[in-house]
Amino acid sequence: MDFFGLDLGSQNIKLVQLKPNGQNFEVKAIGNGPSTGRGVLSDSETDLTALASAVKKLHLDLKISTKNVVCALPEDQVITRVINLPKLTNEELESALKWEAEQYIPFPMEEATLSYEVIAGNSQSLGSKMVILLVAAQNRLIDKTVKVLRAAGLNALSLETEMLSLIRSLSAQSLGVTVFLDLGAKAADIAIAENGQLYFTRSITTAGEALTRAISTDLGLEFAQAEEYKRAYGVNQANLDGKVAKVLEPILEAIAKEIEQTVQFYQNAYKGKVVKQMIISGGTALLPEIVSWLTDRTGMETQVGDPFKKAVVSDILNKIPKETRSLYSIAVGLAMKQE
């Protein structure tokens, strides 16, 4: 069945359609357009209608033939946990997961939709425990997302978390246990995965907009101009006498500490596992010198993600500059979904 991946970011909407080609894929369509500032998180009917119109316009502009779409839910709005349980039958597992979910979900269970995946130790295999990936989202968020897609004239095949999509698109670039860091506008999403399998994730509300606000406040610039300074100078000490880098570093330091805590938690939980690599994506991942800054600060080999590692070279793909391809990581992962 033909479908495309849609990333409903708060600042930009990204759309990607792929076609399988052996072990690789061809890019049939790719593009982006402006979002509404709050995306599906807005409670305003006007905002949601405007978002649907923006999606519909992008879909038409790219001449996508199918209306089937796979879309992502904002990572900081969903609960994702990897839990260990004793070996259970399918009936026992359903009951146990509801009890487990109550320990983690900060909203009433009757207002949530749960999904899960058995990572290891299914009921037919040997071993004493099961490892389960549990995901929960508020029904209200799901309903708003589906409503926007329908208003855009689209058919929602499935929804999943941003980080699951991102790991799917970037796993070909990872070696062993890897930290995935998605630096968006409103949140920084941190995950640890091995061989494409997610084991831990968390989100913090410190990301691109926080960096821009800091520049605006400290240097006395309008927000739009501060955004330009951030993109132009980043954490390069040689630019503008290092003034922008000096403003950004305390905020990046807070993100780095969250990464360290996440790695420590994982390594304590999974003895013998060592994390040496980090792959970053999102708009903030494009800041000058941020890769070298994170490498020096965390001691991990850091690189910007390329979701098109397995893509066949084509005229469509060549239109996307290599330095901006990480922006499409979530949309590519959605378009790669096979279930």
Tens digits of residue pLDDT in 37-91: 888 888 899 999 999 999 999 999 999 989 999 999 988 888 888 888 888 877 8
Confidence of residue 125 (pLDDT cuts 50, 70, 90): very low
3-state helix, strand, coil in the chain (%, to 5): 45, 30, 25
Instruction: Check if 4-74+140-172+305-336 and 203-302 are the same fold.
Output: yes
Find where tokens 């690789």 sit.
24
Burial class of 108 by CB neighbour count within 10 A (0 to 12, 13 to 18, 19+): exposed
Q: Three-state DSSP class for 4?
A: strand
**In angstroms, rounded to a whole number, what is the distance separating the alpha carbons of residues 59 and 169?**
21
Do 41 and 74 form a contact (C-beta atoms < 8 A)?
Answer: yes
The whole-number pLDDT of residue 239 equals: 86
Give the amino acid at 99.
W
pLDDT score of 169 more than 90:
yes
Q: Which residue has the higher pLDDT, 119 or 146?
A: 146
| pLDDT tens-place string over residues 259-291 | 999 999 989 888 888 898 999 999 899 999 999
**What CATH code would you report for 203-302?**
3.30.420.40
DSSP single-letter state for residue 312: P
**What CATH code would you report for 77-137?**
3.30.1490.300
Confidence of residue 170 (pLDDT cuts 50, 70, 90): very high
- Phi, psi values for residue 201, rounded to 5°: -150, 150
The whole-number pLDDT of residue 37 equals: 83
Under CATH, to which class is 4-74+140-172+305-336 assigned?
alpha beta
pLDDT score of 129 more than 80:
no
The whole-number pLDDT of residue 1 equals: 83
- pTM value? 0.90
Q: What percent of the chain has pLDDT over 90?
A: 59
Alpha-helical runs (H) found in the chain: 45-61, 90-104, 139-151, 162-170, 208-219, 223-233, 243-269, 290-298, 315-318, 329-336
Domain boundaries, the chain: 4-74+140-172+305-336, 77-137, 203-302
